[in-house]
Structure 1
Amino acid sequence: MNDQHTAPVLPVERVRQLDIIRGFALFGILLANMPFFASPVVYQMLLDGSMWTDQVSRGAEWTIQFIASSKFFTMFSFLFGLGFILFLDRAREKTAKPQSLFLRRLVFLLAIGIVHAFGIWFGDILVIYAITGLFLLLFYRREAKTCLYWAFGLLALPVVFLSLGALALYMTGEGFAQPEQSIAMYEQMVEQSIAAYGSGSFGEIMNQRTADYWFMFSNYLFMAPMILAMFLFGVYAAKSKMHTNIKEYLPFFKKVWVITLIIGLPVNFLYVNSYFEQGSDITYHSLLMPAASTIAGPALCFFYITSLILLYQSRSGKWLLNPLRAVGRTALSNYLLQSIVCTLIFYNYGFGLYAELEPIYWIVIAVVLFAFQILISNWWVARFRFGPAEWLWRSLTYSSRQSFRN
């Protein structure tokens, strides 16, 4: 084996369904991110959950939370873990140090994430993926079942503790009022966000973006166990060869489809209702919401994944889903493009529509933008081997300029 002959996996070697799932996940990511692009929801959720009072807007917000929240970053996490095994298995055939190559991959993902977080949009997920991805190296040589047990354990611990806390607050009927200083600070941050993003200069927007990112970072750390758990579910799927033996696993996928629907749907109702019931006080809703999200997010993530796999088994399903393949093949580029376009729509260096468009228009923008991404992605992959961000990431990872055109 020779490190000098290390090369990335060519597009023709990809598993088709994985690209389709990845492409579908990008729409969910866009939909889930729309409230954060368009409004100061980061701080508003700590006050009363929403800045909108009319029924149409509240209904649109409810729909976004129900369909998308916590279901699609978990889906990307699952695919990241699965891709980790595929990457190392293929790299091991060409280099004596596949783990070192994966570390390089994470370092450059971290660099892209930092540029994205501080230069484009504070809601970046790439940084926490790169950091959490380091823990995957501990599981590369573990048995598939060991990874599965760890995945369930990482999900169960926060659910147990949060649920016990919520139960205690519910039984006692007591809660904790947030200090008036905290409420005043959140109200000020709402106003500051609207002023900066809606009418501020480029420098003011950058300062606000930096403040928002560090404010959100503690939330990202809370998400890390769930992300690692989903990584490990992906590792389990890869080690079990589910992605290459889909026909053989169809009965299993059908069982997962039923179980995750039965579990995910009612718990998701509980999560969304708790989200909109929470106020500025710390009550059982404040603990029930993240506990329910930790169950409903992964459950409905797997419901969506198995739905796509089962749908793809039919001819009409293939026809319907195949356009998503190109989006999935250029997932990183499309993820960054979503941030660029949406910040141009909502920030003052673009159209300055921050906190002005009602939530129903967020859904319209997400649908129109993603339809455009399907078209441009299919045009792109017909001419180029990788998306521009994928090409850069691969070239940096392998320390050589990758061939770009087909």
Structure 2
Amino acid sequence: MSTSIKATESSERISSLDFLRGIAILGILFINIENFAYPDPWSPWKFGFEGTIDYSTRFWVYFLSQGKFYTMFALLFGVGFYIFLERLEKKQLGLKAMDIYARRLLWLFIIGVIHSYFIWTGDVLYHYAICGFLLFPFRSFKTKSLLFVIAFLSLLQLAKSYDQTMKRKGWQDNYTKAINLPEDQRSNDDIKNINFWKNQTKKKDPDTSKVEANKSTYLIGLKETYKNSSAHKGLVYYQGLLFPSLIAMILGIIFYRSGIFQNYQVWKYYWLISLVILGVGLIINYLRYYHWTYEYFEPVTNIWKGWLFTFPKELLGVGFILIFNGLFQKFLRSSKITLISKVGRTALTNYILQNTLLGLIFYGYGLSLFNQFSRFELLGLVVIIWIIQLTLSWLWLRKFQQGPLEWLWRKLTYSSFKHMN
């Protein structure tokens, strides 16, 4: 007796998850575009600041989007992981289900590495693949046990934040001690401590210099990428993101088990819970990114403030998931805005397409517009790329059931399992 294994039919898809993936894909562009556009995208004062409006633009972009859509992706990846294994289990495949799941993650890892080396070093797919392998044992955990795992991982993050804050506090104490000494009694170490802390707390003048586009040719770009990428060095995941990623993914499992993606009303106080999480997330993110944008020259040396700033993007990302999920199910399911869901259905293709377009716009082998736009002007490019992705996704799904890279990923995953006894 043979068992036929095939990919999930479109009729089996959970529509709210496609919508949320679409939101995440479109939203992450706000931050990813800066990685292509500027030599130092994370700086609150370097590059892209040509006027006051650019500082305001950076604040609002980081306040509402930095890390939040990554958190949404990670949470939805956890949901997808659980659904995938759940459906394989229903087919009663036994150990073959593990083979299929492992192959799915292996090909995701390979796609991510290819993307990292040939398109953009900031790829997150191979990091997700590693997290997917780590997630496997948690599938059989009870929800209460998963909450304990989240609590443990959160404590590790708080401990890391504590260490970083105390390190900065040590720098400040060394400065205070040295600056209070008479100048003729200061050692070389004292002078270094004074200069170091002054540099840390100095407000910088905006850097508006123009920089020559990197990756002047595609071949040179490949050489640069090889130097900056890390998979061939054995660094196959982002260390600083591992625990936050796992927290979000495990939370996705818990949310899916609760049933809110099929019917948000299974939570008695869904809107109250969602609004509280969103509200608290907005407040903490406002404080965090106001400090990062306008008070970056005042290092955080207070333990409580350091802890407050530990999970801002994760908290608001969860708030976005809950609010958008509820709004979609209550108001948007039958509206034209579900065009966003088509972007979500082709999330893998759109993620890589998005970065391919950015490379062609900013790198030297394309239009060579590297560091030519202010931060406010980048918003116009974001809208243009959105329109391109929405249009292409709509046109593609009129003729095909899934995106081209989704088709390839599934083809590679299932190719050895078509006919099994």
Structure 1-normalised TM-score?
0.85
* 2:260 maps to 1:261: no
Separation in structure 1 between the aligned mates of residue 158 and residue 67 of structure 2, nearest angstrom: 14
- CA distance, structure 2, for counterparts of residue 136 and residue 173 of structure 1: 40
Mapped contact 1:110–1:130 kept (Cα < 8 A): yes
Deviations 1:277-328 (A, max 9, x none): 335x9x4279999855542112111221122122224446741531111111
The 1:88/1:290 distance shift into structure 2, 3 A limit, reads farther
- 1:131 matches 2:127: no
TM superposition shift of 1:165: 4.3
Amino acid at match of 1:264: G
**Aligned-residue offset at 1:149:** 2.5
What does residue range 2-81 of structure 1 map to in structure 2 within 5 Å? Answer: 4-41=3-40, 45=43, 50-53=46-49, 54-81=51-78
Query: Which range moves more in the overlay, 304-313 or 215-224?
Result: 215-224
Please state whether the residue corresponding to 2:335 is helix, strand or coil: helix
Instruction: Please show how residues 4-403 of structure 1 align to structure 2 within 5 Å.
Output: 4-41=3-40, 45=43, 50-53=46-49, 54-94=51-91, 95-97=93-95, 98-163=97-162, 165-166=164-165, 169=168, 173-174=172-173, 194-195=211-212, 197=214, 200-214=216-230, 220-249=238-267, 251-276=268-293, 277-278=295-296, 283-284=299-300, 294-315=310-331, 318-319=334-335, 321-399=337-415
By how many angstroms is 1:232 displaced?
0.3
Separation of aligned partners in 1, 2:383 and 2:94: 45
Q: Which has the larger radius of gyration?
A: 2
Cα 1:375–1:114 change in 2 (3 A) is: same
Q: How far does the alpha carbon of each residue in 1:38-61 deviate from its partner, in whole angstroms, 9 at most, with x for none?
A: 11226x63xx65324421222222
Q: In 2, Cα distance between the equivalents of 1:239 and 1:358?
A: 44
CA RMSD of aligned residues (A): 3.3
Q: Residue 290 and residue 366 in structure 1: after superposition, are their counterparts in 2 closer, same or farther (change >3 A)?
A: farther
Are the aligned partners of 2:112 and 2:126 in contact in 1 as well (CA < 8 Å)? yes
- 1:232-262 Cα offsets, whole Å, 9 max, x none, are 001112233332333322x343133222123
Instruction: Kindly indicate whether the alpha-carbon contact (under 8 Å) linking 2:85 and 2:101 is maintained by their aligned counterparts in 1.
Output: yes
Q: 1:27 to 1:289 in 2, by over 3 A?
A: farther
Q: Is the 8 A contact 1:275 1:285 kept in 2?
A: no
Name the amino acid aligned to 1:17. S
Residue 177 of structure 1 deviates from its aligned partner by 8.2
The structural deviation recorded for 1:343 is: 0.6
**5+ long unaligned stretches in structure 2:** 176-192, 201-206
Label 1:290 to 1:120 Cα distance change in 2 as closer, same or farther (>3 A): farther
* Residues 347/335 of structure 1: CA separation in 2 closer, same or farther (3 Å cut): same
Letter in 2 for 1:90: R
After superposition, what is the alpha-carbon deviation per residue over 1:157-201, rounded to whole angstroms, capped at 9, x for unaligned? 213441464267459844778989xx9xxxxxx9xx954626x22
Q: 1:340 to 1:235 in 2, by over 3 A?
A: same
Rounded Cα–Cα distance in structure 2 between residues aligned with 1:296 and 1:27? 20
What is the CA–CA distance in structure 1 between the aligned matches of 2:194 and 2:54, rounded to whole Å?
A: 28
Q: Structure 1's 168 and 109: CA in aligned 2 closer, same or farther, altered over 3 A?
A: closer
Structure 1 residues 292, 360: CA separation in 2 closer, same or farther (over 3 Å shift)?
A: farther
Structure 1 distance, partners of 2:63, 2:280, is 14
Q: Deviations over 1:203-259 (max 9, x none)?
A: 22222223333499799211110001111001112233332333322x343133222
- Name whichever of 105-114 and 287-296 sits farther off: 287-296
The whole-number CA distance in structure 1 between the counterparts of 2:15 and 2:253 is 18
The one-letter code sitting in structure 2 at the alignment partner of 1:339 is N
Partners of 1:150 and 1:223 in 2: CA distance: 16
- Greater shift, 343-352 or 55-64, is seen at 55-64
CA contact (8 A) 1:167 1:284 kept: no
Question: Which range moves more in the overlay, 300-309 or 13-22?
Answer: 300-309
Q: Distance in 2 between matches of 1:291 and 1:212?
A: 31
Percent same amino acid at aligned positions? 27
Distance 2:213 2:221 in 1: 5
Deviates more, 1:83-92 or 1:148-157: 148-157
**Alignment CA distance shift 1:83-1:364 (3 Å):** same
**Is the CA contact 1:263–1:296 (under 8 Å) kept in the aligned structure 2?**
no
Query: Relative contact order: is structure 1 or structure 2 higher (C-alpha 8 Å, sep ≥ 6)?
Result: 2
| In structure 1, distance between residues paired with 2:48 and 2:16 | 39
**Counterparts of 1:35 and 1:259, CA distance in 2:** 31
Question: d(CA) in 2 for partners of 1:209 and 1:292?
Answer: 36
Over 3 Å counting, the alpha-carbon distance change for 1:177 and 1:91 in structure 2 is farther
Aligned to 1:187: none
| TM superposition shift of 1:373 | 1.2
Residues 91 and 110 (structure 1), Cα distance of their counterparts in 2 relative to 1, 3 Å cut: same
